[in-house]
Amino acid sequence: MIKQAIIPLAGLGTRLLPLTSVFAKELLPINGKPGIEYILDECIEAGIKEVIFVISKKKIMIKNYFYNDKFYKDIIKKKKDPRIVNEYKKILKYKKMIKFVFQDKPLGTGDAVLKTMRFIKDKYFLMLLPDDLIIKKNCSKSMIAIHKKFNSSVMASMSVHKKEVARWGIYNVKKKIDNANFIIKSVVEKPNPKHAPSNKAVIGRYILPKTIFNKLKNLKPGKGGEIHITDAIELLINDNEKFIGHKFFGKYLDCGTMKGYINSTMEIAKI
């Protein structure tokens, strides 16, 4: 069973400047609700019991959002507003399942995952990248079902335009299982379109084996000087770990860019 999830949250959010100069992008509202709460709701609905937030000192605002008890207690005492009581209850429910781990330098997704090593209990865990919202169908839940069926690692995937491959991790297929699931032959971080193995991109939902920590411990920085989870995954594939690319059915919203962030509010408001 997959019971733990990791969410890397120490990124600087430069693509969303100036909003992120004083604000954590994951707390920015999307149709009136912080982006991170959509991710937490996806986890809860998928049966996750513990979520590990990887934050930095600069992103301490995220911890404060969930640890603001005195403020809520005082205001509830004064106002007795049932709406505020319900909001506080919701925050308490999230808080109970969150553990905080620090990554003080933004050295990449791989480094963020490595920081959680001592907390991971089971053979496999889930990782969600908060810039990627997937609405209308719970992607993590579908991936957990695939993991159970094939006893393998899984990554969410989507086809992208050939000229945009340099924005993503890109994989090629060893074997097609069905129309939505593919056994991965190899994966490369943000390839040049000229050398990209395909147009199948990795989206920010991963079911990873605990053995990935052995790879991450010795991994050298890759593209852009960062330690990428993609590079550790490629090493595991070379060691015969089975990775499935799962073409998800939900709608993908890229909340990590200004254009995508604005669009995500409009898309969610339509539901």
Task: Examine residue 152 and tell whether it contacts ligand G1P (CB under 6 A).
Answer: no
Decide if 29 contacts 38 (C-beta within 8 A).
no
Smallest distance from the beta carbon of 228 to ligand G1P, in angstroms? 5
Identify the DSSP state of 21.
G
Task: Examine residue 246 and tell whether it contacts ligand G1P (CB under 6 A).
Answer: no
Smallest distance from the beta carbon of 201 to ligand G1P, in angstroms? 5
- Give the sign of the dihedral formed by CA 17, CA 19, CA 22, CA 23: negative
Smallest distance from the beta carbon of 165 to ligand G1P, in angstroms? 10
164, amino acid identity:
E
- Binding residues for ligand G1P, rule CB under 6 A, total 14
- Both tokens of 68, joined, read 């603001």
Task: Examine residue 184 and tell whether it contacts ligand G1P (CB under 6 A).
Answer: no
Task: Examine residue 168 and tell whether it contacts ligand G1P (CB under 6 A).
Answer: yes
Smallest distance from the beta carbon of 224 to ligand G1P, in angstroms? 9
Determine which residue in the list 26, 42, 111, 132 makes contact with ligand G1P, applying CB under 6 A: 132
Distance CA 155, CA 201 (A): 10
Distance CA 127, CA 212 (A): 12
Determine which residue in the list 106, 169, 222, 245 makes contact with ligand G1P, applying CB under 6 A: 169
Determine which residue in the list 42, 111, 131, 231 makes contact with ligand G1P, applying CB under 6 A: 131
Q: Which is nearer to ligand G1P, 51 or 201 (CB)?
A: 201
Burial (CB < 10 A; 0-12, 13-18, 19+), residue 89, is exposed
Determine which residue in the list 109, 152, 153, 181 makes contact with ligand G1P, applying CB under 6 A: 109
Helix or strand (DSSP H, E) at 146: helix 139-150
- Both tokens of 209, joined, read 């084996």
Express the helix, strand and coil content of the chain in percent, nearest 5 each: 45, 25, 30
Smallest distance from the beta carbon of 131 to ligand G1P, in angstroms? 6
Determine which residue in the list 128, 144, 202, 216 makes contact with ligand G1P, applying CB under 6 A: 202
* Those residues with Cβ within 8 angstroms of residue 207's Cβ, 6 or more apart along the chain or in another chain: 2, 124, 125, 126, 127, 143, 144, 147, 153, 154, 155
Distance CA 57, CA 49 (A): 25
Q: Which of the residues 21 through 60 are near ligand G1P (CB under 6 A)? A: none
Task: Examine residue 204 and tell whether it contacts ligand G1P (CB under 6 A).
Answer: yes
Q: Which is nearer to ligand G1P, 40 or 231 (CB)?
A: 231
Task: Examine residue 111 and tell whether it contacts ligand G1P (CB under 6 A).
Answer: no
Burial (CB < 10 A; 0-12, 13-18, 19+), residue 159, is exposed
Residues that bind ligand G1P (CB under 6 A): 109, 129, 131-132, 168-169, 189, 201-204, 228, 230, 256
